[in-house]
Structure 1
Amino acid sequence: MKDNYAVIVQTHIDALFKNSNAARELAEQLPGAVDGTGVRFSAFGEPCRIGPEGIFLSGVKQEGPLGIIIALYARSANPGAMVMTPFRAFKDFPGSMPYVGAFAAYTQEALVPFVEAVRTHMSDIVEALGGSTAVDGVGGDFAFQVMPLPKIALCYIFYEADEDFPASVTCLFSANALDFIPMDGLADTGEYTTRKIIRILG
């Protein structure tokens, strides 16, 4: 028997691929490239394919939380363009209140022990996840922007520890990120991007 995550992912997949034009429409809106009956694009720094048979990252079928995040992103696909700036704090998105505590813990505070390692490996992180280390006007001791999903950018801002304050991390989103994924998916996008960063650090 499939677990609940797998059932939810498949329910989204079935809804996405109800008509023969689904792959073409998704490719235009995610955006991505048509690949047979599915679509190829990049998600969380890996090759992703979504099709009637499921969601695959680097060839591995995703039937857990990552699969749900990607499915939610695909279900929310629309022709709108990403608006990068001004970056927005998670708490400033409408409907975020129930998720604020978990977001702070799993997206921001989880990276605090790794601040120095992140600075050392910043170029590797940006290369893996797509983005830039040239982020202006956000403050911090250093910062970078990454693209876990094609129309959703995250800006991570790092403050190094000194004699007065401990290290801290802030994560902001592209201005209209909520146009492309529901609130629960947005919160999880932050958490799983942070997990990916920690894996890159080794």
Structure 2
Amino acid sequence: MTNPVLERIYSQFLERAETLDFIGLANRLGVEMDEDALIIPYFDSQYRVSKQSILGPDFREPAPIVKAVLCQYLTQFPQSPSPSRDWTAFRDLPEGDRFAGDFRSSVEMPLARIFTGKRLDLMTSCAAIGGLTPTEGFDYDASMVFQALPHMNLLLLFNDADETFPAKCLLLFEDNAHEILDMETLSVVAWRLAYLLFTMSGIELSEE
């Protein structure tokens, strides 16, 4: 079923695309261009964004929710984002508390539940979609850093269940993430990571 909100985001992007400086965007984002299209990595895949269309790595049109994230990213990316200084919880970003409950219930809690007792499976799935061991140490059973989009990283922290506590999963953003995307789109980016990890572990979900 077509989502009118996602389709509107895409159509509005195509209307604005003619006024966007793609060469300038490529320089600011640090991405390559293929002829007239930007090549945008989004987690483990690369997308070809031109002023006429968005195509996935197989040159097919990606899911509407993927297109919407890429559209929002390219239109909202600031001229000069502030340097990231630290990791922060979604709820602690500006206006994050408005969506924190849904973020916890749709992203962090399902990840903790699905990977309870499966720490090695989680780490394998993370590595398969580009997750890297962070340079700093964290007091968790597993920690992985992902480049969601150029200039936007996510940190996954996971503690497996023990005799006292259930499994716990946290997804943290860099503290400048709100300058790059609005909070609703940031939550979609985090859900995308969860979706990819579920898919790698053999769980089939709708991409929408």
The TM-score bracket by the shorter chain reads 0.7 to 0.9
**How is 1:14-163 mapped onto 2 (pairs within 5 angstroms)?**
14-18=15-19, 22-58=21-57, 59-62=59-62, 64-80=64-80, 83-112=83-112, 113-129=114-130, 131-163=131-163
Deviates most, 57-66 or 157-166: 57-66
Identify unmatched segments of 5+ residues in structure 2.
203-208
1:128-163 residue CA offsets vs partner (Å, 9 max, x unmatched): 23x421352432211111111111111010011011
Q: Distance in 2 between matches of 1:149 and 1:118?
A: 25
Q: TM-score, normalised by structure 2?
A: 0.85
State the SS of the aligned residue for 1:18: coil
Task: State the shift of 1:192 in Å.
Answer: 1.1
Shift of 1:13: 2.9
Q: Which amino acid aligns with 2:50?
A: G
C-alpha displacement of 1:99 = 1.0
Gaps of 5+ in 1: none
SS of 2:165's equivalent in the other structure is coil
CA distance in 2, matches of 1:46, 1:181: 19
Distance 1:142-1:85 versus aligned 2 partners, 3 A rule:
farther
Residues 116 and 67 of structure 1: CA distance in aligned 2, closer, same or farther (over 3 Å): farther
**Matched-pair identity in %:** 20
What is the aligned residue count? 198
Does structure 2 retain, via aligned residues, the 8 Å contact 1:30–1:78? Answer: no
AA at the equivalent of 1:67: K
- Report the alpha carbon displacement of residue 121 of structure 1 after superposing the two structures with TM: 4.8
Matched position secondary structure for 1:132: coil
| Partner Cα separation in structure 2 for residue 121 and residue 63 of structure 1 | 25
Q: Does the 8 Å contact 2:142/2:157 carry over to 1?
A: yes
Residue identity in the other structure for 2:100: V
Contact in 2 for aligned 1:38/1:52 (Cα 8 Å): yes
Deviation at 1:3, TM superposition (A): 5.1
- Counterpart check, 1:13 vs 2:14: yes
CA contact (8 A) 2:81 2:180 kept: no
Structure 1 length-normalised TM: 0.87
Using the TM superposition, give the Cα deviation of residue 83 of structure 1 relative to its aligned residue in structure 2, in angstroms.
4.0
CA distance in 2, matches of 1:31, 1:13: 22
- Partner in structure 1 of residue 190 of structure 2: 190
Contact conserved, 1:31 with 1:41, CA < 8 A, in 2? no
Q: Offset at 1:14?
A: 2.4
Q: CA deviation at 1:127?
A: 4.7
Does the C-alpha gap of structure 1 residues 188 and 139 become closer, same or farther in structure 2, counting only changes over 3 Å? Answer: same
135 and 161 in structure 1: CA distance in 2 versus 1, 3 angstrom threshold: farther
